Amino acid sequence: MENHFDKRLDPTLLVDGAKSVISLSYNYFPKEHQVADSYKISKYAYGQDYHHVIKDKLRELLQSINDEIGEVSGRCFVDSAPVLERAWATRAGLGWNGKHSLLIQKQQGSFFFLAELILDLELDYDHPFTTDHCGSCTKCIDACPTDAILPNNTVDGSKCISYLTIELRDAIPTSFTDKTADWMFGCDICQDVCPWNRFSKPHAEPLFSPNHELLQMLSQTGRN
């Protein structure tokens, strides 16, 4: 997060003459889930690479804006550039940051991607989301097997199972050997226990549909 910090704070360093950030969310909650006793992967990875899927849609939206009102300069961002996605989403009124640090929406939960269009076009702006609806709930904190969720709505990345199974270039430290709970790519524990995700509805994106062989993949425990 320290890399290109100036660009995270100033969108004009990413798009010349930038005047607006359009923040969008895109549901990825699946209709089908992995079988019990499976080696687990995060639900966001069930289908095709979301970076490509969503960026193509953003390009279509940007083209539609140009077709409708004339030439507008802008760039599309999907978790691949120095953009403070949750901060912009909160300022755009999309939701609030839960204790697990993810953005939550009342009617959708947290199983969605965030993306942005930064444009040199001035718009009528939405109001920031200022209310935290997590209250005294600590289900995500209590459920995290590695104690990665901190009291201040942040996550200790060095303890997070998603970091350990995706970003970490070395072997997972032995202190976490019995705490990864068969997660082999990412982790959804904090989202699975969140009460707001009872409102999650299956997505309608064919490119996010899972391979059935993936859903049926059993762990060694499941085979025994």
N- to C-terminal Cα separation, the chain = 43
Residue 198 pLDDT > 80: yes
- Determine the pLDDT at residue 100: 96
- Determine the pLDDT at residue 3: 64
For the chain, the 3-state helix, strand and coil shares in percent, each to the nearest 5, are: 35, 15, 55
- What SS3 class is residue 113? strand
- 98-128 pLDDT, tens digit per residue, is 999 999 999 899 999 999 999 999 999 999 9
- What SS3 class is residue 13? helix
Q: Token match 């059993």: residue?
A: 218
Helices (H), 5-103: 5-9, 50-69, 85-91
Amino acid at 33: H
67 is known as an active-site residue: no
Measured distance CA(22)–CA(120) in Å, rounded: 11
- 49-100 pLDDT, tens digit per residue, is 999 999 999 999 999 999 999 999 999 999 877 788 999 999 999 999 999 9
- 14-26 pLDDT, tens digit per residue, is 889 999 999 999 9
Measured distance CA(103)–CA(110) in Å, rounded: 6
- The DSSP call for residue 40 is E
- The maximal CA–CA distance of the chain, rounded, in angstroms, is 63
- Of 37, 79, 120, 192, which residue is the catalytic one? 79
Measured distance CA(113)–CA(131) in Å, rounded: 21
Amino acid at 25: S
> What is the number of residues in the chain?
224
Confidence (pTM): 0.90
